[in-house]
């Protein structure tokens, strides 16, 4: 054991400096050249994987900012010729790429969260693209309702097929079922104009709900009670 | 808890498998509801792990098979780390005692539990799983006085971010004698010494004492005043608030600490805290607020009413009671608290036999207040202080 003359505390032999005043310590009774590991705590390995991930995400962030900035600049410089904010058509998909990369590659969230985030992100991106290219309503009339329907069917299949993960997915499935009524809401607000596709999304929600209730009524009932308890 | 021999991971795994059966409140996973989070039984086994990260490193339940606790081992030490929503310090220590007890019996030691250990091979008692806050709740309205903003510790954060754990092992008898000489408890004595060290470290280079009061947050085990055997959370917090002046001595600070502690650990004050906690949970308006809004509001409330109103936390787990045969196999026990953004230094105290260990866990480089604290107890109580540290931030200071 060693003692710090400045602080008066006793230190283990592996300490070279006092951790309180950071002054050097005498060698004590340590055999010269023999390395003694810390008896109380492990040596912490450097997390190189994390460092690489941080560097790569910073690099891609810079590239996104650079690409967006250059497009905005060119758009502004050539505004007299085109008079359209076309640069946003580059920036918005770039932002969605971040959502995609974040949810699929970097996030350790469950599959349910990934599907939900990507459905919402993709829907938002396509709606904005539609809005910027004259708003012909192809996004709200067809793409978004079918995208939501596809995601709902996937959730229902997962919930019914993977019984062990049932309660991990049911929360997302309930959220997705609620989202199925979004196209009908858009139709009611006159944002969407094609009734059959919006109604089909609502019908999909009801059918999937019926499927879940029919095949797994007990679990479905208990889970809904637990999720909505107050 | 440090044992006398190196840990055998296979036996520790077996001990963990037996011990977890006694604690249904720990064998859970957290699920998200629309209005509240809720806990449900986790059927996956609880895997023990070698210690590789700093104590109180972030706990990702997905990496822990859904568990919000982990059992770690390193050389002779067995540690338990857990999310505070599951249990408090008392519950965590009981669980650790159960794990160590079964480990030692599996190693081949004969240890009678002497009623001090909750054995994993016994069925859990329903009283151990009760919500004691609800049991002692009385629907009366007693206003809680508003806490003043406290002086906050500041410093340079470690790069890379992490926690520096530094514990000082003292002679419990000498600390006890120093406290008894002044007719105060060990908690009051250590709290006053901590406040003095904070004041002195601020007054370095001729600066004045902190303008705002130094508030030390002291968790109080409610089981001592409100009989309960629960292994779930059952604690309150006494915020010991001391406005400081440059000329104040230790005795004056100690007197103020004792006055604050006796007032804030009184039955009526603690009852008020129980009422406030339960009333908030039962409030109809609160019940129907969606979870994400609750989280946002609680985060802000935690910063405004919790974090801004305390300088540091000192949690004294007290003396750990072990059967004689088990104590003979155990070198020491310690408690490490997690530091927070606004409270970058926190400390835990735990006593086993004649070893009283005060563990400082910090995210900032500055160690002046810790140095002053240990200097004070060495001079005042005449105890030896044996330092152990993980040297986070100073890897070159160890071999």
CA atoms within 13 A on the CB side of B6: 4
pLDDT for residue A168 is more than 70? no
Burial of A90 (0-12, 13-18, 19+ CB in 10 A): middle
Percent over 90 (pLDDT), chain A = 37
State whether residue B378 sits within 8 Å of chain A by CB. yes
pLDDT band at B219 (very low <50, low <70, confident <90, very high): very high
Given the structure tokens 């709740």, which residue do they identify? B137
Contacts of B166 in chain A (CB under 8 A): 19-20
pLDDT band at A106 (very low <50, low <70, confident <90, very high): low
Domain co-membership, A33 together with A67: no
Domain co-membership, B109 together with B176: no
Give the pLDDT confidence score for residue A163 in this predicted structure.
66
The pair phi, psi for residue B49, each rounded to 5°, is: -135, 150
Reported residue count of chain B is 399
Query: Who has greater pLDDT, B63 or B260?
Result: B260
Q: Which residues of B229-260 are buried (b: 16+ CB within 10 A; e: fewer)?
A: ebbbbbbbebbbbbebeeebeeeebbbbbbeb
Look up residue B332 and give its DSSP letter: E
CA dihedral over A103, A107, A110, A113, signed as positive or negative: negative
Reported residue count of chain A is 230
State whether residue B50 sits within 8 Å of chain A by CB. yes
Q: For chain B, what is the domain count? A: 2
In a domain, B39, yes or no: yes
Cα–Cα distance, B116 to B114 (Å, whole number): 5
In a domain, B214, yes or no: yes
Which residue of A9, A116, A166, A227 to mutate against B (max B Cβ within 10 Å)?
A: A9
pLDDT band at B193 (very low <50, low <70, confident <90, very high): very high
Give the pLDDT confidence score for residue A24 in this predicted structure.
85
Domain co-membership, A145 together with A132: yes
Joined together, the tokens standing for residue A192 give: 């969407």
The pair phi, psi for residue A219, each rounded to 5°, is: -65, -45
**Residues 214 through 273 of chain B touching chain A, CB cutoff 8 Å:** none
State whether residue B162 sits within 8 Å of chain A by CB. yes
Domain co-membership, B56 together with B176: no
Give the pLDDT confidence score for residue A111 in this predicted structure.
74
Which residue of A10, A40, A45 to mutate against B (max B Cβ within 10 Å)?
A: A40
Residues 6+ apart with CB under 8 A from A49: none
Give the pLDDT confidence score for residue A109 in this predicted structure.
64
- In terms of residue numbers, what domain contains B106? 2-125
pLDDT band at B207 (very low <50, low <70, confident <90, very high): low
The pair phi, psi for residue B357, each rounded to 5°, is: -110, 125
- In terms of residue numbers, what domain contains A169? 110-230
Q: Which residues of A66-81 are buried (b: 16+ CB within 10 A; e: fewer)?
A: eebeebeeebeeeeee
* Contact at CB, A227 and B75, closer than 8 angstroms: no
Domain co-membership, B217 together with B95: no
- Residue whose C-alpha is closest to residue A145's, from A202, A206, A211: A202
Task: Give the pTM.
Answer: 0.82
Joined together, the tokens standing for residue B219 give: 């968790």
Domain co-membership, A118 together with A86: no
Q: For chain A, what is the domain count? A: 3
Q: pLDDT tens for residues B296-333?
A: 888 888 777 778 889 999 999 999 999 999 999 999 99
pLDDT for residue B102 is more than 90? yes
pLDDT band at A27 (very low <50, low <70, confident <90, very high): low
């Amino acid at each position: 054991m060693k003692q710090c003359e400045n602080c008066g505390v006793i230190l283990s032999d592996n300490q070279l400096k006092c951790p309180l005043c950071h002054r050097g310590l005498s060698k004590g009774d340590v055999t010269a050249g023999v390395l003694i590991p810390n008896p109380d705590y492990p040596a912490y390995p450097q997390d190189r994987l994390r460092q690489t991930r941080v560097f790569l995400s910073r690099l891609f962030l810079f590239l996104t900012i650079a690409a967006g900035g250059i497009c905005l600049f060119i758009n502004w410089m050539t505004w007299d010729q085109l008079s359209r904010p076309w640069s946003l058509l580059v920036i918005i998909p770039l932002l969605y790429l971040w959502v995609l990369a974040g949810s699929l590659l970097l996030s350790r969230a469950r599959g349910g969260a990934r599907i939900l985030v990507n459905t919402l992100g993709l829907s938002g991106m396509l709606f904005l693209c539609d809005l910027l290219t004259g708003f012909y309503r192809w996004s709200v009339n067809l793409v978004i309702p079918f995208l939501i329907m596809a995601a709902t069917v996937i959730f229902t299949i997962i919930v019914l097929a993977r019984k062990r993960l049932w309660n991990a997915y049911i929360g997302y499935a309930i959220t997705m079922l609620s989202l199925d009524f979004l196209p009908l809401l858009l139709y009611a607000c006159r944002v969407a104009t094609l009734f059959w596709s919006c109604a089909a999304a609502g019908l999909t929600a009801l059918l999937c709900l019926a499927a879940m209730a029919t095949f797994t009524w007990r679990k479905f009932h208990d889970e809904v009670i637990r999720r909505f308890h107050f | 808890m440090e044992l006398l021999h190196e840990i055998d991971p296979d036996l520790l795994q077996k001990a963990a498998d037996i011990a977890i059966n006694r604690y249904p409140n720990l064998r859970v996973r957290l699920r998200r509801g629309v209005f509240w989070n809720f806990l449900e039984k986790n059927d996956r086994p609880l895997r023990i792990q070698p210690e590789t990260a700093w104590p109180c490193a972030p706990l990702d339940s997905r990496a822990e098979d859904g568990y919000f606790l982990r059992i770690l081992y390193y050389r002779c030490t067995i540690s338990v780390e857990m999310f505070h929503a599951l249990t408090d310090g008392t519950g965590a220590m009981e669980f650790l005692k159960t794990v160590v007890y079964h480990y030692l019996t599996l190693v081949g030691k004969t240890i009678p539990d002497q009623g001090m250990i909750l054995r994993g091979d016994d069925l859990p008692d329903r009283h151990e799983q009760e919500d004691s806050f609800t049991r002692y709740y009385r629907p009366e309205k007693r206003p809680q006085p508003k806490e003043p903003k406290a002086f906050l510790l500041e410093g340079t954060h470690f790069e890379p971010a992490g926690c520096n754990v530094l514990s000082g092992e003292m002679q419990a008898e000498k600390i006890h004698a120093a406290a008894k000489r002044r007719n105060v408890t060990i908690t009051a004595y250590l709290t006053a010494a901590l406040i003095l060290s904070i004041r002195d470290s601020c007054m370095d280079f001729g600066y004045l004492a902190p303008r705002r009061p130094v508030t030390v947050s002291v968790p109080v085990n409610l089981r001592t005043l409100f009989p309960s055997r629960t292994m779930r959370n059952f604690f309150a917090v006494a915020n010991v608030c001391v406005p400081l002046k440059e000329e104040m001595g230790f005795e004056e600070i100690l007197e103020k600490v004792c006055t604050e502690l006796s007032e804030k650990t009184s039955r009526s004050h603690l009852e008020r805290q129980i009422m406030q906690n339960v009333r908030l949970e039962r409030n109809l308006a609160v019940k129907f607020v969606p979870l994400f809004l609750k989280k946002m509001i609680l985060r802000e409330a935690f910063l405004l009413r919790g974090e801004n109103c305390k300088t540091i936390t000192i949690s004294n787990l007290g003396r750990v009671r072990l059967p004689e045969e088990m104590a003979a196999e155990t070198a020491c026990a310690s408690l490490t608290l997690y530091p927070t953004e606004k409270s970058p230094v926190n400390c835990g105290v735990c006593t086993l036999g004649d070893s009283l260990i005060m563990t400082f866990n910090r995210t900032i480089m500055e160690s002046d207040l810790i140095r002053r604290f240990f200097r004070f107890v060495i001079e005042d109580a005449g105890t030896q202080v044996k330092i152990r540290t993980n040297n986070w931030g100073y890897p070159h200071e160890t071999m």
